[in-house]
Amino acid sequence: MAREQWRIDLVEVDVDEAGNGRAVYNIKTPSRLFSFVVQSRQSSDEENTDRIIAESWDLETFLCEGRATPEFIDSQFEELPKVRKGRATPKVLIWSRANRSSRFFDHIVDSLASGHQPDVEFLSEGGYLTRSSGYYGNGLNGTKVFAAMDDDHPLKRPFMAQMLAVYMLRVFGYDLADEMAKARNPDAATLSDDIKRYLGTGNSSGVGIILYMINHPQFVHSWLRAREVALARAKARDPTDDDIETFTRLVEHTETWFAEDESDTERFFHSKDRIAHGLEQALEQVDALYGDSGSDTLWTQLCEWAKTNLEAETQEVLHALLIDVYPEVCDGLEDSLTTAETSDVKPEMSLAELESLITSSYQWALDIDMTQSGAQHYVWYRSVENEEPRIGVREEHDYEEYEIDAAIARQVQQLYADLQQAPAADSVAEFLFEYPEHREIAERIQTVHNLPYAEVRANPIDEEFVPLTFISCLKAIWGIQKAHPKSIGWVRGTFFQGAPLREELPDGETSYWAYPSRPDRADYWRDD
């Protein structure tokens, strides 16, 4: 957006002091025009649940191609409140629903209406004004199917339309706060640009993410592989003095960001202070390794040192920063992110070959002891009432009747056991006539056995399974920062914290913006 100098204009806004009203934005790219439209209201705390099945939201939004006429806007806001039953049109790219953050948003509006800036130390506990739990596109509710986009479409690549909607919610949050404050007090302050840059868009996800990762193994592999390739390319570089200087600057910048992060990680993630301390240790190690004439590059030595001296979370931050030193290592990998998630059983394969695939690529599944106490503690199912994935305790209720089999390891073991009873020379087709219940897992193994990052190598029905780490993994693929748990199966985080403002895009500003430093409180807040 910055490189192509997109222009985002607020062409219409009518909002009262409670936040009720509408806003329309035009988004001009070198080749296309898009519209982003928001209908805003003030919902009660009881209505403000953030759950996908909720029927009431503070904000209902859509992103569409072309200019949104008043008639088209009215028609969409007739449909959007119907949640799953409403119908968009192929002109619409994304539907989204969002809520204002009651704590942070109200504090900002109250501060601006009183004539001063908000308390940035308080804002750092969350880092956002609005948050959404879902962005619906690619055919959902009748939206445009992304495969139908022209090759030169600006939002052709995976998740670009969703991420533009995320960015636009950030834009609207600032404009809404300013408009509400002005409606309360004509002499209200406007939100500082430094604070705007510091804030992002909130997002939250629950345990349904686990089923998404299990059900989309090819997607998961494609994205994680691209990241690993980029990291391998970066580690292979022999750093120049300028590279060391860049890396040092990025690490110090990130260390400050983690140290300033006031969000609560509870007991599930390492504290942000601990990560900051690990980054400081890594810089000391770079100084110790610099000039070493060993056979490995400095970056390879640093990453090997980190494996035994830093926690996994800190290691992955270092890996991300190393890629940021050499952004060109990502060149060409974008094309690998569009994944065709097709599969089909290979009936002619011999059972001997299928068994070989299991022992070579799914040994991790065979190694999980499903007979151990607690290994089959949970049941995954879909709530009929709320249409959401849930986890229940086995034999506690009648969950088993509605179980979604998320335990790939258990399926592999059951298949492997039955394979031992069949002639090795038989074909998969012959076997499946006898054991049709194994068709899905046999097809899965035949399809993704050679994709090393495809499977969640854990037991999601085990009593000790912690969904948070896998939820955070998928959110990280989409670019989330500031991830923190709300519970063992619910993660909140922030998108686009530090990103350029819409007013800055036409200037082509493309400087590094991740991990923004907190603005100085003394400059922006005062007691009345």
What type of residue is 84?
A: R
Model confidence at 388: pLDDT above 80: no
Per-residue pLDDT at 54: 55
In eight-state DSSP terms, residue 13 is: E
Model confidence at 67: pLDDT above 80: yes
| Closest to 207 in 3D by CA, of 386, 28, 357 | 386
Name the percent of the chain in helix, strand, coil, to the closest 5.
45, 15, 40
Calculate the average pLDDT of the chain. Answer: 91
Model confidence at 58: pLDDT above 80: yes
Q: How far is CA 139 from CA 91, 94, 162, 451, in A?
A: 11, 9, 13, 27
- 71 Cβ contact list (under 8 Å, min separation 6): none
Spatial contact of 124 and 262, defined as CB atoms under 8 Å apart:
yes
| Closest to 350 in 3D by CA, of 429, 420, 444 | 429
Lowest mean pLDDT among 100-104, 182-186, 326-330, 359-363: 100-104
Per-residue pLDDT at 295: 80
H helices then E strands: how many in the chain? 18, 11
In the chain, where are the structural domains located?
A: 7-203+493-510, 351-448
Lowest mean pLDDT among 92-96, 101-105, 202-206, 395-399: 395-399
Burial (CB count <10 Å: 0-12, 13-18, 19+), residue 129: buried
Q: What are phi and psi of 265, to 5 degrees?
A: -95, 0
Going by DSSP bridges, is the β-strand pair 92-100/481-487 parallel, antiparallel, or unpaired? unpaired
Model confidence at 162: pLDDT above 80: yes
Q: Rounded mean pLDDT of 130-145?
A: 90
Model confidence at 52: pLDDT above 80: no
Structure tokens at 356: 């070989």
Model confidence at 48: pLDDT above 70: no
Rg from Cα positions in the chain: 25
CA atoms 234, 235, 237, 239: torsion sign: positive
Spatial contact of 125 and 193, defined as CB atoms under 8 Å apart:
no
- 470 Cβ contact list (under 8 Å, min separation 6): 209, 210, 213, 456, 458
What is the spatial distance between Cα 329 and Cα 229, in angstroms, rounded to a whole number? Answer: 8
For residue 35, the cross-strand partners are 26, 64
Spatial contact of 170 and 199, defined as CB atoms under 8 Å apart:
yes
Q: What are phi and psi of 490, to 5 degrees?
A: -145, 120
Model confidence at 83: pLDDT above 80: no
Q: What is the pLDDT of residues 95-116, one digit of tens each?
A: 999 999 888 999 999 999 999 9
Model confidence at 33: pLDDT above 60: yes
Model confidence at 521: pLDDT above 80: no
What is the spatial distance between Cα 503 and Cα 7, in angstroms, rounded to a whole number? Answer: 8
Per-residue pLDDT at 46: 59
Q: Rounded mean pLDDT of 318-329?
A: 96
Instruction: Return the percentage of the chain with pLDDT > 90, whole number.
Output: 72
What is the spatial distance between Cα 481 and Cα 313, in angstroms, rounded to a whole number? Answer: 13
For residue 12, the SS3 value is strand
What is the spatial distance between Cα 53 and Cα 422, in angstroms, rounded to a whole number? Answer: 46
| Closest to 478 in 3D by CA, of 199, 237, 164 | 164
Per-residue pLDDT at 382: 84
Q: What is the pLDDT of residues 2-22, one digit of tens each?
A: 999 999 999 999 999 999 999
What is the spatial distance between Cα 163 and Cα 442, in angstroms, rounded to a whole number? Answer: 35
pLDDT band at 528 (very low <50, low <70, confident <90, very high): very low
pTM for the model = 0.92
DSSP assignment string, 92-126: EEEEEEEEE-HHHHHHHHHHHHTTS---HHHHTTT
Spatial contact of 165 and 36, defined as CB atoms under 8 Å apart:
yes
H-run or E-run covering 324 = helix 312-325
Model confidence at 356: pLDDT above 50: yes
Q: What are phi and psi of 70, to 5 degrees?
A: -55, -40
